[in-house]
Structure 1
């Protein structure tokens, strides 16, 4: 492969609606649920888990940079300041994996802040100044025309560190990996610093593009679940003309059998409610999109929608019948496709 074509071309323009974009074949490798936790030792490395959105950066030798979301969309126009990645690589072509995050006033990753950037293509200077974003790099998938996905994680991290990216731009960072450390202590550090959790990566693991693997294990401090919105119910009182709750689902297998997994009526800001209503109304349909009847108390007065919107909730636990308990809304996830959201296997 040539240096300026070391990776597949990412198609689609951010000016078009996400549903109309052609998708890039580039997909990140995904971590699996982590139990049991590996013991400290030479086989595993540990990284902190940041509360943001995954993005693969495609950098050409010319410095041109494109950011590809987890579902293959070109989101470069949403985060124009992060094209600085091309500058810090100083003329080298590469494909890198990382997390886009927004930080609060205490310097902690804030998903609610990032939500205000995720839906805005070509943000104005005021928004980028108010909510700057940062790119945390943790993997190197190709370099100067050489594909590295068959190399071990340890080798890829070594090559990433050798690039000397850290310190060249305040917007691009390379968090350190840890080895031979008690993971429970790392979890305590993550908790104390408002991070999402930790990830264990097998040092010998290859990079499996688009696959979820147990070579990478995640240990989040919060229980979160991606959900498909299948309907909504109007509120009451001050929310009588807005969304009162969302009716949530996930598929039994990708794109097959939308299964009711609960509802959520808390965690919304006024900005979120207004945005949700604008997005839900064009999707309304007469019948339920769920494969089986939704419990009557939740189906009553429901307004059904085409199951296209993906969101994320934080919750306490799953019930025995695979329903979310004590859930709260976190926000929409435009980086995810509805058909990919499945009910997780019982632990």
Structure 2
């Protein structure tokens, strides 16, 4: 069987006309802006929705052509070298050309994705510890699959991955149809981050338009570092980070995080923040004396991923914990998460 012989699985009622190969074939896109999930306080119900486990890693777009794979972040950065083992495994898929979306993760012994473990693996150059969990197929062998409904794209993606030479390294993101409430409840019991719910009948559309919704067990979001407090036991380590988000171009204070980093990580963060030190606060509003106490101000450039329980009444993070730095999102795009009710 040739590399291009994988066919779209037949499905009852499937809309096949929109995925017909055009004369000469559709051009393989250089990059597709991602479809983004909107945060919601309760998952949707109904058979039109598919529910997948929300993964805790780096979202990547695998552009496969001519037996080589380029891995791009959600903002289009080329991170192929950083995920070289995954790129090699993807290059061995039985396709001539493809555009596959997925998440690069490091799985714990319990099979749960860990962002902290992924950051550590990246810092140590251990791409062999990573797994690529594929959840969408945007292009395959001359056909632009974005015009097909999600369920067709996933059916075909599963068929491609079933023939992967490295099934442990390349995995399919399975889903459950129907009411998401029970799916979210079970995910939370297992200690997972949450779920992503997607409309099964829609084509792929870039942007945050409500086609995909995310429901969380643990609140996890990105925040920008606007300063730090030096550790009380090591002058070359941080003891806490001062966080904020951008609202209409203004840098808004969101609180501090003082847990979640080892001594080694605290020293690494201190080193990264030294070139960003500044004499004055970058926050748009004046902070209280307690909020300013002991802070070394920094230019708002570094993005941190933070776990937290809730927001206080005055809009500050409650029970926050540091998970790692994110390098795939510009600081200026980090806004306070809006919830769809």
What is the TM-score with the length of structure 2 in the denominator?
0.86
Q: Deviations over 1:73-109 (max 9, x none)?
A: 1111111100134444224201111111101233321
Contact preservation (8 Å) 1:228, 1:341? yes
Using the TM superposition, name which of 334-343 and 142-151 deviates more. Answer: 142-151
How far, CA to CA, are the matches of 1:54 and 1:3 in structure 2?
A: 27
Q: Deviations over 1:271-313 (max 9, x none)?
A: 2112111110011112211111122212133211111100011
Contact preservation (8 Å) 1:118, 1:334? no
1:276 is aligned to 2:269 = yes
Structure 1 residues 3 and 332, CA, compared in 2 at 3 Å: closer, same or farther?
farther
1:45 is aligned to 2:40 = no
Q: Secondary structure at 1:155's aligned position in 2? A: helix
Shift of 1:220: 1.6
Q: Secondary structure at 2:117's aligned position in 1? A: helix
Structure 1 residues 70 and 164, CA, compared in 2 at 3 Å: closer, same or farther?
closer
Segments of structure 2 that go 5 or more residues without pairing to the other structure are 1-21
Contact preservation (8 Å) 2:308, 2:317? yes
Contact preservation (8 Å) 2:37, 2:213? yes
Structure 1 residues 271 and 205, CA, compared in 2 at 3 Å: closer, same or farther?
farther
Write the mapping of 1:193-204 to structure 2, written as runs, cut at 5 A.
193-204=190-201
Contact preservation (8 Å) 1:26, 1:68? no
How far, CA to CA, are the matches of 2:277 and 2:329 in structure 1?
A: 20
What is the TM-score with the length of structure 1 in the denominator?
0.85
Q: Deviations over 1:37-68 (max 9, x none)?
A: 222x32111111112111110101x1110111
1:335 is aligned to 2:328 = yes
How far, CA to CA, are the matches of 1:203 and 1:145 in structure 2?
A: 23
Q: Secondary structure at 1:212's aligned position in 2? A: coil
Q: How many residues align?
A: 317
Using the TM superposition, name which of 45-54 and 81-90 deviates more. Answer: 81-90
Q: Secondary structure at 2:43's aligned position in 1? A: coil
Equivalent residue for 1:176, pick from 174, 177, 181: 174
Write the mapping of 1:293-308 to structure 2, written as runs, cut at 5 A.
293-308=286-301
When Rg is computed on C-alpha atoms for both structures, the one with the higher figure is 2
Equivalent residue for 1:77, pick from 81, 84, 87: 81
Aligned residue for 2:227? 231
How far, CA to CA, are the matches of 1:203 and 1:3 in structure 2?
A: 25
